[in-house]
Amino acid sequence: MAPMGSPACAPTGSSETGVTMSAAMTTLTDAFEDPSTDGGATDHALPVAVISWPTVPIEIIRAAGLRPVVIRGESTATPLADARLEADVFPNRLRQLVEAVLAGRLRRTACVVLPRTSDADYKAFLYLRELIRREVTPLRPPILLFDLLQSEGPDVRAYDAARTRDLFATLASLVPGSASADDVRDAIVGANTARAAMRRLLALRQGAPRVAGAEVLPLLGAFWRLAPDDYAALAGEAAEVLGRRPPLEGPRVMLAGAPVDGPQLHAAIEAHGAIVVAEPGPWGSEAAGEDIVSGDDPFAAIAEWYRRQAIGPRTPLAAVRQRLQPLMDDVDAVVVVAPPDDTAFGWDYPCLRAWLEARQLPHMFLAWDPSIPLGPVEHERIAALVTAARLGMGMRHG
């Protein structure tokens, strides 16, 4: 077992891999890790639209003439937000967003957009609107709600398409100049180009992986920070560099449960000799998805893509299971994550546990706040899981 806190696989700049970290990988990682709304981008001239979760279509944001910045969780304290928000209701990313608004840090922000794909995001929208109405914050950017439905009702597609058009019209009104459906089609092309490059990185995690999860998740997550053409070029170069690495050894682990938006858990697992090769949600193995085919109505195409692609608390359970199963076909262990604010994924754990036990896959349930480092007890449990996974590798892979 690798010593706690030291990666079991050689880091990117290590001579053990024979391949050093490229400038492209550094740029992607820096963009992902930059917590500000001004840094980490390659299109600084555009006004910013701050997004609370990536179920707000970045194609619509960019077509309207704005630069999307998706908020992630951090370890930074949020005293102003904590004084006004209930505990264990809002994930850290939303506390960071409310803190930034209350502290007046969103100076270049044209608007804040929250999707209605989770109760927490919707509640944060209501809180922010009320705080601004009461003039609690020195800056008052427009607070917008994107009401994306993820159900299968007969009127859902038309409703989602209409809300997507409305969002585009509202955003375009915030920016000088004019924007049209052709701009939306161009934004779809750009995003598809970036997603194709992201799929090259994801392919390096399949079979015998050539990149550790803690290293590749920032390379994937930079998609939500950089202009599409820039991301495509950088991710393509990163894939070329990583593709020359020898395969990594060790049990392959998948994260399940609530999506994570950072590599902290990946690093903790990989410190014990495993490799995280998959995780649900928009920051990792499901970030790319398929291309968006705009067709006659680009707004309807975007709405349908995000309705089907997003995994969140309001995603139908059958859809979540259908998408998790292929990811589990080539792993040796599973870690199910449930943060304190979780109101959905933990309820599915008994069914998921039965399914994992039927497949004889070692697994663990981790009740963990991603803004807090893992402690010795959690590391001991992860070490035991990796040991069990290592013992079962021969039986599963020959």
pLDDT, tens only, 46-76: 899 999 999 999 999 999 999 999 999 988 9
Domain count along the chain: 1
Question: Which three-class secondary structure state does DSSP give residue 68?
Answer: strand
Which pLDDT score is estimated for 136?
80
Do strands 143-146 and 363-367 pair parallel, antiparallel, or not at all (unpaired)? Answer: unpaired
Report which secondary-structure segment, H or E, holds 254: strand 252-257
- Cβ burial of 27 (10 Å; 0-12, 13-18, 19+) is buried
Flag residues of the chain having pLDDT under 50: 1-19
Which pLDDT score is estimated for 309?
82
Residue 362 lies in a domain: yes
pLDDT, tens only, 147-165: 999 888 889 999 999 999 9
Domain coverage including residue 47:
23-397
Residue 277 DSSP code: E
Residue 18 lies in a domain: no
Alpha carbon distance 331, 265 (integer Å): 17
Which pLDDT score is estimated for 326?
74
Residue 340 lies in a domain: yes
The CATH number covering residue 354 comes to 3.40.50.11900
Residue 142 lies in a domain: yes
Q: For the residues of 44-55, what is the DSSP string, one character each?
A: TTSPEEEESSTT
Which pLDDT score is estimated for 359?
87
Residue 10 lies in a domain: no
Which pLDDT score is estimated for 316?
66
Which pLDDT score is estimated for 43?
64
Which pLDDT score is estimated for 20?
59
Residue 98 lies in a domain: yes
Alpha carbon distance 142, 156 (integer Å): 26
Residue 27 lies in a domain: yes
Which pLDDT score is estimated for 162?
97
Report which secondary-structure segment, H or E, holds 392: helix 376-397
Alpha carbon distance 283, 55 (integer Å): 11
What amino acid is encoded at 365 in this protein? F
Residue 356 lies in a domain: yes
